[in-house]
Amino acid sequence: MADGSDGLSPSMSPSESQSPEDARYEHYVARFVRYEPDLRRFIRSLLPTRTDADDVLQQTALVLWRKFDQYDLNTNFMKWACVVARFEALAYRRKMARDRLVFREDVFELMADEGEEEIRDRQAEHNALEGCLAELPEKQRQLITLAYTPGIKVKEMAEEAGSTAAAFYMRVKRLRHQLLECVEKKIQQQAGQAS
């Protein structure tokens, strides 16, 4: 949020009958639920697969809750959560550093530093993408969705089927690139309208 607060007022409190612990809990859940997608996206940009990101997000959620009494309700929750998430991702990275697709520590730090400053850009991209997907012809949308569906072993089928699979990947790459262009165009248009 522009003003530095997280947009959830501390006075937006649960009913009178609740214990302070319940109230604290609800404050936490309200915030976590709101920022969970952003946090997941931030973590995902630092780690190679979505499973890695899920593990780290899970861990981050627990740590945030444990430390929630240290959190000042008037400050930016996302900023605070990013610090924790980044630390958890780094720890996770060290454990699995032998995996060849893990960023080196210097690259990781740079990506995390800069990524933290771009949370709002990410939200805008996500929203723009939703529109771009909706505008895609049905068949192309199904193709890209299929390529990203968990558990779809296109790769295995690809190996068996030879060159046609390469064509499949080529189409996915092309679509991804097309979507990136569409997202950038949409964001530019919005920036144009706002000014």
Partner 1 sequence: MKPSKFSQLSGQEQNWLDDYLDGTIGQDEFSAMQDHMIQSSAFRKVMRRYLSIDHSLEVFSGETEEISPWAQPLSTQVKAPIFRLASLLPIAAAAALAFFLGSLFTKDSAPEDVIATPERSAEGFAVVSALFDAVWRDDKSSRQPGDTLSAEVFTLASGTAEIQFFSGAYMTVEGPAEILLKSAWEAECRNGAVRMKVPPAARGFKLQAPSAEIVDLGTEFGLSVRGGHGEIEVFDGEISVQGRGGKEQFFEKGNAVTVLPSGTVADSQSGIIKFPDARHLKPEADSGRERWQTHRDTLSRDPRLIAYYTFEKNKSQALIPNLAMPRNTDLDGAVILAESATGRWPNVQSALEFRRPGSRVRVNLPGEFPALTFMTWVRIDSLDRQYNALFMGDGYENGEPHWQICDDGKMMLSVMVDDSKQHPQHAKSRFHHVYFSPPIWNLSMSGQWMHLASVYDPAKELVSHFVNGKQISREAIKPDFNVKTLRIGNGEIGNWGQPFREDPSFAIRNLNGRMDEIAIFHEALTEKAIAKLFEESRSNRSH
Contact positions with partner 1 (CB under 8 A) in 127-166 = 129-131, 133-135, 138-139, 142-152, 154, 157, 161, 164-165
Smallest gap from residue 147 Cβ to partner 1 (A)? 8
Q: Using the rule CB under 8 A, is 106 a contact of partner 1?
A: yes
C-alpha to C-alpha distance for 29 and 36, rounded to whole angstroms: 10
Phi, psi of 102 (to 5 degrees): -90, 135
Sort 23 into a burial class: Cβ within 10 Å, 0-12 / 13-18 / 19+. Answer: middle
Q: Which CB atom, from 79 or from 130, has the smaller least distance to partner 1?
A: 130
Q: Using the rule CB under 8 A, is 49 a contact of partner 1?
A: yes
H or E element at residue 26: helix 20-44
C-alpha to C-alpha distance for 154 and 151, rounded to whole angstroms: 9
Report residue 20 as tokens. 């302070």
Q: Which of residues 17-46 bind partner 1 (CB under 8 A)?
A: 22, 25-26, 29-30, 33-34, 36-37, 40-41, 44-45
Residue from 74, 75, 188, 189 in contact with partner 1 (CB under 8 A): 188
